[in-house]
């Protein structure tokens, strides 16, 4: 008899198995009532690695809305940045309070913010091993996802999407492929993936930023003419004829180094060309050079020489901020003992920093591009590649070239899309892959253009017109 009653209650109210010990019941700085549940705790990855997650349920219909995984990049940077400054339901203020984000992605989806790999943010390795690789990260993240659905089995029936930005261009596709190719994938219902301002190809990213720099007025005709003459076949400047990424001509190498220095190392905001360059209290020129800049022009002799010379000094630098950013508000908030207690961070876990130099210095990059991953994924699930069009870390042109060179059938020609009565950017749709730009946004699209970002992700997930 009681089995029938239990079945009835399950059908009527659903299965509520969320871990009570991870539920956030009193979040410091939150001065308004929220209409959703939120959780913070740990998921177990490969070899016992403990990956910190922060899960916010949808404020609309959590039992039916999709579940979205969000990952920031680096490699080695924290997804708390995504939570507290980009697409989360509450945004950090300088006074330590949390203000409501009307354009949070949890207005239409459930969102998991995962700090990965171990040693990033509040994530840790019990053996204090912070070295890792692309494949190990995807494996550990996959195991953490399986752990998430063990903790929250009620969400296994919801559609699931993987999203991320920057080095998420590697994290997202490699994780998605691993899920789809594993016959024992714990029935994770992967329905699609989205990559924002992602690193999809080192070569195309390097080649395209030189074009981007010239056509945005960052260097003059003398430098550009020299680059075209010494780096491009037959003095023709196009994506096929120019090799700025792996040049051999000494004059080309010198010219590319000058262009690279102007773009990344002279005070411009590499994440938003037209944004201010913020400076945290301990940031320095060398530090800026080896955060996200470190994945650019890696074949350049100057870059190789500097990285080998200075990588051992990374951990001695006090600021973990990427170039032209200031994470002190987040750092002060997340390291507040009351906040740590409210989000269930054990006392032995390190203080929170936005990026981990230990992870970055010991990270093994295994892929030059994501061509094979995208070809596999687009034959199984839909994808979205989106770019803020004034980002210089992973610029829109390189990702556009990457998508165009996949050879997918175009199903909708390039056109404007709108957010309200304003042009939000451009969209071109291919067979199972959408290519979208967001006008006036930089590297962190949901931060720069929150309304357009929400419309974009809603259009992709719910198959609405952009």
- Active-site annotation, residues: 166, 391, 443
Measured distance CA(144)–CA(167) in Å, rounded? 19
Collapsing DSSP to helix, strand or coil, 339 comes out as helix
The secondary structure of 379-402, three-state, reads CCCCEEEEEECCCCCCCHHHHHHH
- 71: number of CA atoms within 13 Å, CB side? 34
Helices (H), 285-390: 285-289, 301-310, 328-334, 337-342, 357-361, 371-377
Q: How far is CA 79 from the centre of its chain?
A: 8
The secondary structure of 349-364, three-state, reads CCCCCCECHHHHHCEE
CA angle 139, 445, 355 (to 5 degrees): 50
Collapsing DSSP to helix, strand or coil, 206 comes out as helix
Q: What is the DSSP letter of 408?
A: P
For the chain, what is the radius of gyration of the CA atoms?
Answer: 22
Measured distance CA(327)–CA(356) in Å, rounded? 13
Closest CA to 103 of 336, 448, 371: 448
Helices (H), 394-449: 396-404, 445-448
Residues 426, 437 contacting (CB under 8 angstroms):
yes
For 392, the token pair is 């210089």
Q: How far is CA 80 from the centre of its chain?
A: 11
Residues 177, 193 contacting (CB under 8 angstroms):
no
């Amino acid at each position: 008899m009681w089995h029938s009653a239990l079945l009835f209650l399950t059908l009527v109210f659903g299965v509520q198995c969320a871990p009570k010990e991870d539920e956030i019941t009193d979040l410091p700085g939150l001065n308004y009532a929220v209409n959703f549940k939120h959780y913070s705790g740990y998921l177990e990855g490969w070899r016992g690695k403990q990956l910190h997650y922060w899960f916010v349920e949808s404020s609309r219909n959590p039992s039916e809305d999709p579940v979205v995984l969000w990952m920031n990049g680096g490699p080695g940077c924290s997804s708390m940045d995504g939570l507290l400054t980009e697409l989360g339901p509450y945004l950090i203020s300088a006074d330590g309070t949390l203000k409501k984000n009307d354009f949070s992605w949890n207005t239409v989806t459930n969102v998991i913010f995962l700090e990965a790999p171990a040693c990033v943010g509040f994530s840790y390795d019990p053996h204090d091993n912070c070295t890792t690789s692309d494949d190990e990260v995807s494996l550990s993240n996959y195991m953490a996802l399986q752990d998430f659905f063990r903790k929250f089995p009620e969400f296994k029936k919801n559609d699931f999407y993987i999203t991320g930005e920057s080095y998420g261009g590697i994290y997202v596709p490699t994780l998605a492929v691993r899920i789809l190719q594993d016959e024992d994938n714990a029935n994770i219902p992967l329905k699609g993936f989205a990559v924002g301002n992602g690193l999809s190809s080192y070569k195309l990213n390097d080649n395209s930023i030189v074009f981007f720099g010239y056509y945005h007025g960052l260097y003059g005709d003398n430098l550009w003419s020299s680059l075209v003459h010494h780096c491009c076949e037959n003095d023709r400047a196009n994506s096929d004829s120019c090799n700025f990424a792996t040049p051999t001509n000494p004059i080309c190498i010198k010219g590319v180094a000058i262009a690279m220095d102007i773009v990344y190392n002279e005070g411009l905001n590499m994440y938003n060309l037209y944004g201010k360059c913020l400076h945290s209290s301990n940031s320095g020129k060398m530090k800026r050079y080896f955060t996200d800049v470190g994945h650019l022009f890696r074949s350049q002799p100057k870059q190789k020489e500097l990285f080998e010379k200075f990588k051992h000094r990374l951990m001695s630098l006090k600021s973990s901020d990427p170039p032209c950013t200031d994470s002190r508000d987040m750092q002060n908030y997340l390291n507040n003992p009351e906040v740590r207690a409210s989000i269930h961070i054990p006392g032995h876990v390190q203080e929170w920093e936005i990026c981990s130099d230990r992870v970055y210095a010991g990270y093994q990059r295994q892929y030059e591009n994501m061509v094979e991953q995208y070809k596999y994924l687009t034959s199984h699930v839909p994808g979205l590649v989106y770019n803020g069009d004034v980002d210089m870390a992973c610029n829109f042109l390189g990702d556009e070239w990457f998508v165009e060179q996949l050879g997918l059938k175009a199903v909708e020609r390039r056109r404007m899309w709108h957010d309200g009565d304003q042009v939000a950017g451009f969209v071109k749709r291919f067979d199972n892959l959408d290519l979208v730009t967001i006008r006036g946004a930089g590297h962190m699209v949901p931060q720069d253009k929150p309304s357009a970002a929400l419309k974009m992700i809603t259009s992709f997930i719910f198959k609405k017109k952009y």
